[in-house]
Amino acid sequence: MYVSITGNKGNQDVYIKQSYRKDNGKTSSRIYKKLGKYNTLLEQFSGNEKELMDWAKKEAEKETLAYNQQKEKVSLSLSPLARIPLDEERVFNIGYLFLQKICSELRIDNICRNIRNHHKFSYDFHAILTDLIYARILAPSSKLSSYKYCHSLLEPPKYSLQDLYRALSILAEESDFIQEELYKNSNFIHPRNSKILYYDCTNYYFEIEAEDGIKKYGKSKEHRPNPIVTMGLFMDADGIPLAFDIFPGNQNEQLTLKPIEKKVIKDFNYSEFIFCSDAGLGGKSNRFLNSFGNRSYVITYSLKKMKKEERELALLPTQFKVPGSNKLIDLRTLDESDPKVYNTIYYKEYPLVTGDMDETVIITYSPKYKAYQSKIRNAQIDRAKKMIQSSDKTRKGKGSNDPARFIQRTSVTEDGEIAQKNIYQLDEAKILEESMYDGFYAVVTNLEGDIREIININKQRWEIEENFRIMKSEFEARPVFVRREDRIKAHFLTCFISLLVYRLLEKKLGEEFTCSQILETLRNMNVTLLSKDSGYIPSYKRTKITDKLHSSFGFRTDYEFIRKSTMRTIIKETKQKK
C-alpha cells in the first residue's frame, strides 16, 4: 500500500491506495482508506508537509501489516473420516534448496549449457547433475537409490533413470572442463586462496574380486582385500577442493601428482604457490617439480624413515628455539605442567644436502602434541590388553593405529611337552620405540623466512584429510557400485562437486557448526503438504542452524504455514545467481 494525494489544488484528499491484479492479469489500484483533507491534515502538522507525509506513510505501513496478517490467516477443512489420496507424496525435503542456491551461484546451469552445445542429447543434463549432488549430500547411495530419493524433493526428476546413466558418460568426458569452470565460478562465492595448495591421495574399494580396468589390487588404506582406485586431490589454503583425478589402484602415489599439478597450472592459471603434502607424496622428484619459477614447498619429513645419524640429531633435545627468539633451549629443562610451556611450539633446523636442491629440515616439538599422542597410544594399549584376554589376540596389527601391533607372541616349550605353546603379552619395546617420537614433527622445505609461517602452513594439512573423511564417511563415496570406467570417473566427479558445494556452504555459515550437525539438519528439513491446493507446514525442528541457514541465504521456510505460491517464489530465488 502507498500514499496518494488527489484532487484540485485547495481541495485535495489524502488516501491510502492498494495495488492489486485484475482477473485478466493486469495490475491496477484502488482506494483502501481515506486519511482526510490535505489542508486540514496540514494544519494539524503546523504546515510541515514533510511531517504530514511521514505520518501518512506510517499509517500506510500499519494498514499493510494489518491487511497481510488478516489475509495470511489460513483456514483448512479437514475430516477425520476422509482418507488421503492414494499414492500422493506428502512429505518433501527442502534442505536441498540451500544447496541449489550454491549450485546456481556456481553457474552450473551455464556449464551444462556449454556442454550440451557440443553433445547430442535431449535430456536435462543440468537437472541430472544437480540432483546427483543433492542426493550425494543428503542421502548418499547408489545411482538407482539416488534417483528414487530425488522424487522426494519439491522438484522431482522429469528425466528417466536411463537418462541419468547416459549422463554419466558425458560427465566423465567433460570432467576437466567442469573442474576448470567450477574453480572460476567459485570465486563469485568465496575468493579462492591460492597462496598455498595442499595435495593428498586416498583410495576407494569396489566390492568385486577380480581386477578390471583401473580397478586394481593395491595397498588399501582401509586394509580391504578388494580392487581399488586412487584419487588425487588438490585443496586451497581455505580447505576448499580445487581439482582431482582418478588413477589405477596399483599406481605409485608419487606419480599421481605431476599430471594434476600440470592441469592446475595450465587450466587454472596458477604459477605461484606453496605446495604442501605428506612424506609419502613428497619424494625428491615431486619436491624438484615444485622448485621452479615462483613455486616452493613444505613437505612432511618422516622421522622414522630418517637415516640413523640424522634421526639422532633430530631427536636430540638440545638447541631448540622458540619462534622469534635466538635463545637455545634444552627440552629436558622444560616444565611441561606450565600452561605457557605446554602450548608453545619449539623448533630447530638444519640444512639437507640432496644434490642441487637447497633444502632445510625443520624439527618441531610440542608438549601439547606429545600429550595427545600419549593419550591416543595409552587407549590403544588398553585395547591391546583386552585383546590379550580374548580370542582376538592372534590377529596381526595391520596399521599404525591398530592396537594389535602392541601384542607380542612368544613360542615356548615347557618341560614334558612336545608341542610349542604361544604366550601373548604387551610388546614393551614397541611401546618404548613409539614413545620416543611423541611431540616431535618434521618438515622439509625450500622456503626461507618466518619459521612461524612454515609451521602454520603444515598445520593446515588436517583439512585435506578431513575432506577425504567427509567423502568416505558422510558422502559414502565407497564402496563404489558403478563398474564402467567412465561411470566411475563420473561418480567421483559428483563426489568432488558435492564436497565443493558443502565446503562453500560451511563458509556461508561462518564455519560455526560441525559437518554432522549441518548434514543432519539439511537431511531432516522436510515439509508436509496439507492439501493439494493449500500449502505446506514445516516438519522439522527450528534450531540455531536453521536460523543461520535462512539468514545467510535470504529466504525462510520456517513459517507455520507456507503457501504453494510462496514456495514457488522461494524455489525461483534459489535458482538466481548473484
pLDDT digits (tens, 9 = 90+) for 127-169: 999 999 999 999 998 889 999 999 999 999 999 999 999 999 9
Residue 42, C-alpha cell as written in the block? 496540514
Q: How far is CA 325 from CA 317, 321, 342, 345, 448, in A?
A: 17, 7, 18, 12, 16
pLDDT at 483: 77
pTM, rounded to two decimals: 0.79
Q: How far is CA 256 from CA 251, 280, 286, in A?
A: 8, 12, 10
What's the CA gap between 292 and 464, in Å, rounded? 24
Residue 538, C-alpha cell as written in the block? 514445516
Cβ distance 123 to 206 under 8 Å?
no
Q: What is the pLDDT of residues 167-217, one digit of tens each?
A: 999 999 999 999 999 999 999 999 998 889 999 998 888 877 788 889 888
Domains, the chain, with CATH or none: 2-71 (no CATH), 91-171 (no CATH), 179-321+452-508 (3.30.420.10), 369-435 (no CATH), 515-574 (no CATH)
How remote is the C-alpha of 149 from its chain's centroid?
A: 21
Going by C-alpha positions, the residue among 354, 310, 370, 365 that lies closest to residue 445 is: 354
SS3 of residue 494 by DSSP: helix
Going by C-alpha positions, the residue among 475, 527, 481, 478 that lies closest to residue 501 is: 475
pLDDT at 477: 72
Q: How far is CA 528 from CA 83, 353, 367, 502, in A?
A: 16, 68, 54, 26
* DSSP assignment of 523-553: HH-EEEE--TTSEEEE-S---HHHHHHHHHH
Residue 372, C-alpha cell as written in the block? 595427545
Going by C-alpha positions, the residue among 411, 430, 431, 407 that lies closest to residue 421 is: 411
What's the CA gap between 360 and 362, in Å, rounded? 6
Q: What is the CB-side half-sphere exposure of residue 294 using CA atoms within 13 A? A: 8
Going by C-alpha positions, the residue among 95, 117, 118 that lies closest to residue 519 is: 95
- The answer, yes or no, to whether the previous bond of 85 is cis (omega within 30 of 0) is no
Query: Element (H or E) spanning 477, and its range?
Result: none
Which phi and psi angles does 208 have, rounded to 5°?
A: -135, 165
pLDDT at 61: 85
Cβ distance 59 to 16 under 8 Å?
yes
How remote is the C-alpha of 427 from its chain's centroid?
A: 40
- Cβ-in-10-Å burial (0-12, 13-18, 19+) of 468 comes to buried
What's the CA gap between 523 and 99, in Å, rounded? 11
Residue type, 79: S
pLDDT at 74: 67
pLDDT at 171: 96
Q: How far is CA 93 from CA 70, 497, 553, in A?
A: 29, 20, 17
Residue type, 38: Y
pLDDT at 545: 96
Residues 6+ apart with CB under 8 A from 111: 177, 178, 181, 182, 185
Successive 10-residue mean pLDDT values, the chain, 578 residues: 85 86 78 87 87 88 72 71 86 96 97 93 95 94 92 94 95 95 94 90 84 86 84 91 93 91 87 87 87 87 90 93 93 95 94 80 94 92 89 69 86 68 87 93 89 86 84 79 85 94 95 93 95 87 95 92 90 89
Instruction: Quickly tell me which residue has 577380480 as its cell.
Output: 210
Helices (H), 246-302: 257-267, 284-289
